[in-house]
């Protein structure tokens, strides 16, 4: 196993990052003024890590984010985007239509470099700090995900490793909604990622699989995990669909029990969700998506809210979290 660099110490002003997927109208259309106000609120509340992707609105998220960050010194914040899709015009095969554009999966070395070049133009910046190989998993590729992973192993992975060695980027890894691709990557002897972004799989609501299969290995190898979608697609906070679909009955029951426990101790559910994610030693940061300025203030307040120890003890004894899950009271 090659030596990893890790991401610790790189996040300015705390572990809470801004997820820019909503700026790409991924969960509903928002006007430019609202997008601008949301990024401005994030900055003035102290956020200094911003994450986006070409997939978010076929480049719209990157354009909107870059427009607002242009008002700030590039050295004052960390920025990540993703590779694995190229935005095209016209018709081609093996594509997904979105936002009047066509996108093609491309996990090759040339595709990764082209994706970064295009992202830099849309963002209006001269560099990215972290680059995640995006959605190379079952939820987007079905049974062919291992074939796509192999393309990335000999393509995008090598491209990003070279960029890191040259000092062009600070770190790289995967950006996925499933644990299996990261598990597979961690088992490769020739690959030495710095971290990965895992969305929705290590949360207060859903963490057992990642806790057993991924997080201990990542911590042992020094591969830092950035947690995305800490509110489980919003179902924990505002009753939004679970991963863009109707939640199964058992998930709805679990959500209700978690909210009831939070109410019992007068704990904001956002606070419990964020602080749970950050309690695991493998976690280096958490990224919460936001499409409204008021969400930013809520997220920052949640990060620092005082939660009574009894709440965490009760969660554990009530089996609402895995007995093996690290909690803030365990530090």
* Residues forming the active site: 51, 56, 82
DSSP-derived letter for residue 28 is B
Is residue 174 within 8 A of residue 225, CB to CB? The reply is no
> Per the structure block, which two tokens stand in for 21?
């997927």
Q: How far apart are CA 229 and CA 199, in angstroms?
A: 5
Task: Reduce the secondary structure of 92-129 to three states and give it as a string.
Answer: CCCEEEECCEEEEECCCHHHHHHHHHHHHHHHCCCCCC
Is residue 202 within 8 A of residue 186, CB to CB? The reply is no
Is residue 81 within 8 A of residue 54, CB to CB? The reply is yes
Alpha carbon 43 to its chain centroid, in Å, reads: 18
Is residue 75 within 8 A of residue 48, CB to CB? The reply is no
Q: Given its phi and psi angles, is residue 244 left (phi above 0), alpha (psi -120 to 50 degrees) or beta?
A: left
DSSP-derived letter for residue 27 is T
Nearest to 85, CA basis, from 150, 129, 136: 136
CA distances 236 to 86, 248, 257, Å, are: 33, 14, 11
């Amino acid at each position: 196993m090659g030596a990893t660099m890790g991401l610790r110490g790189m996040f300015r002003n705390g572990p809470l990052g801004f997820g820019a997927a909503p700026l790409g109208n991924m969960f509903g259309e928002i006007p430019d003024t609202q997008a601008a106000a949301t990024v401005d609120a994030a900055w003035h509340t102290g956020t200094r890590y911003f994450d986006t992707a070409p997939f978010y609105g076929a480049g719209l998220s990157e354009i909107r984010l870059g427009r607002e960050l242009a008002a700030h010194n590039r050295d004052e914040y960390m920025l990540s985007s993703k590779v694995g899709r190229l935005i095209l015009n016209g018709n081609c095969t093996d594509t997904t239509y979105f936002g009047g554009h066509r996108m093609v999966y491309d996990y090759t070395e040339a595709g990764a470099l082209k994706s970064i070049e295009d992202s830099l133009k849309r963002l209006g910046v001269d560099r990215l700090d972290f680059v995640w190989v995006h959605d190379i998993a079952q939820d987007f590729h079905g049974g062919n995900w291992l074939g796509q992973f192999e393309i990335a192993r000999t393509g995008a992975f090598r491209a990003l490793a070279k960029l890191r060695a040259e000092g062009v980027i600070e770190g790289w890894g995967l950006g996925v909604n499933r644990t299996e691709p990261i598990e597979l990557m961690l088992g490769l002897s020739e690959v030495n990622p710095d971290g990965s972004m895992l969305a929705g799989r290590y949360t207060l609501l859903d963490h057992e699989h990642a806790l057993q299969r991924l997080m201990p290995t990542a911590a042992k190898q020094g591969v830092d995990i950035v947690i995305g979608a800490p509110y489980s697609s919003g179902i924990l906070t505002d009753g939004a669909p679970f991963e863009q679909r109707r939640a199964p009955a058992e998930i709805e029951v679990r959500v209700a029990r978690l909210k009831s426990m939070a109410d019992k101790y007068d704990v904001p559910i956002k606070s419990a969700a964020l602080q749970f994610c950050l309690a695991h030693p493998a976690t280096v940061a958490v990224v919460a998506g936001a499409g409204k300025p008021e969400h930013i203030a809520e997220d920052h307040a949640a990060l620092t809210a005082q939660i009574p120890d009894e709440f965490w003890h009760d969660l554990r004894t009530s089996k609402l979290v895995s007995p093996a899950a690290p909690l803030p009271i365990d530090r």
